[in-house]
Structure 1
Amino acid sequence: MSTDYLVKALAFNGGIRAYAVRSTETVGEVQRRHHMWPTATAALGRTISATAMMGAMLKGEDRITVKIQGDGPLGPIVVDANAKGEIRGYATNPQTHVPLNDKGKLDVRGVVGTEGTLSIIKDLGLKDYFTGQVPLISGEIAEDFTQYLVVSEQVPSAVALGVLVNPDNTVKAAGGFIIQVMPGVTDETITLLEEKISTMKPISTLIDQGLSPEEILIEVLGKENVEFLDTVNVKFDCECSKERFGDAIQALGCHEVQAMIDEDHGAEAQCHFCLETYQFSEAELKQLIDNMPSAED
């Protein structure tokens, strides 16, 4: 049972909307599955924390998929989540690591790159998907999400994300917060928050020191100003299955599937997210062909 969770809150009489997440175990699970190296873990871990909080802004069965495509050696990062705190993600080249940056920190920008895009697709259960995209402005992830929220969703926001990695590559601490300014908030409140955020300890340090998501928001917003609304458990969860991969193989068409039988005498498919591998025998592939709506493909 994961101890990761996020909280939703309002502050300053509804003038501020806030989210905070502890994602240490979830990011750790992804690091283990993909045998990730430290800087890759930091980049993917930050994206997981941000996507979990963005998922918490959704309702019901809605889903969100985040793709960060930079020009660095890590390659594309893909993370998806739902409103229930279930999340999964991968980086294309998980064994990517570069020297520490000039501040002695993991150089996330160095692996992500500074040229590229942050894309967000929301499946809101309607016929059309909502898609927003912004250019990367830093490659450090938090600033890029801030830019997305301001430009694409037109909500002035502050995003803080952090991951601490142990010497053995395991995850020591991961999490983040998003603070959003609602219409009607006073300039005084905005100034107060800007000062607080600029002087507080890094988010990963606060989590490593044992602060809960609630305590992190109290640290930012002040205990007397914040009202907690909801708590959502966060955990790694992959929805892949042999049946889904079977559907994907069927979608290739009769000739492609027959070629798998003739040339390879079977098929193997692997999930990008959890690395689960599914084997299909010749008989199973023949069954997929038989079950196709039309054998004329």
Structure 2
Amino acid sequence: MTSYDVLVEELRAAGLDPDAVTAAIDAALEEDLPGGSVDVTSVATIPADATGAGVFAAREPGIVAGLGVAALVFLRVSAEVVVSDRLPDGARVAAGDVVMRVAGPTRALLTAERTALNFASHLSGIATATDRWVAALAGTRARVLDTRKTLPRWRPLQKYAVRCGGGVNHRFSLSEMAMVKDNHVVAAGGVVPAYDAVRAAYPDLPVEVEVTDLDQLRRLLDAGCDRVLLDNMDSATMAEAVRLTAGRATLEASGGLTLERAREVAETGVDFISVGALTHSVKVFDLGLDLQ
């Protein structure tokens, strides 16, 4: 059985803020039960004292994530719900595998069902998509990287799901790392002036600069930039960028990259491949809850 306190400690150990996750759950439940209203269908069809049990099962193969969040949803609806046999986030599952069991007041189980599935299905979808990229890059130096293209208020959970799938997190906020993009370059008058301005203002902060051609890359390397984003380059140009860099900076490939092209890009020798689609347009993982 999983207690409320255990779930909170699991979230904290995973790098998540339990208070923020709980607030997100409560906000999601408020959408279904505004102003303290009730699940009218369950109240009408299920006796108040009825109890039941159900299983969460995977309906496709993949990587699960967010099961702890889903378990917490049930406990927020009713402290009488018992959660058991929960697989750890990051576990690989096959179609038909039971990933979690719940038991308790039947009304509570059905009231919490959709919210729990929304969290777990979305996060498992991200973890599963990330795992596919990790598999495509296996044997190369490249790591798959997420972006800030996340759903508002979901960033910590979505980036957690990327980690569950074996991916790497890019910056969480605009303040923890400087990332000079094309519009910054235009405003500053060039890649080197933009880089120098950030380095002068924030000398201890990591800085990454986006380039669109090899000439910009050369100038940045001469200026001492040690992290460069290669934007929308073809594979031959990226391979030449790796040769020119010769280990002086880490290189991130970005810009509309697809899983079908992942191996080709990784074999150019870049260090990271960033994929916004991991979080902004991922397909949800097919999970279901079936009452026994």
- Give the structure-2-normalised TM-score: 0.23
Q: TM-score, normalised by structure 1?
A: 0.23
Structure number with higher helix proportion: 2
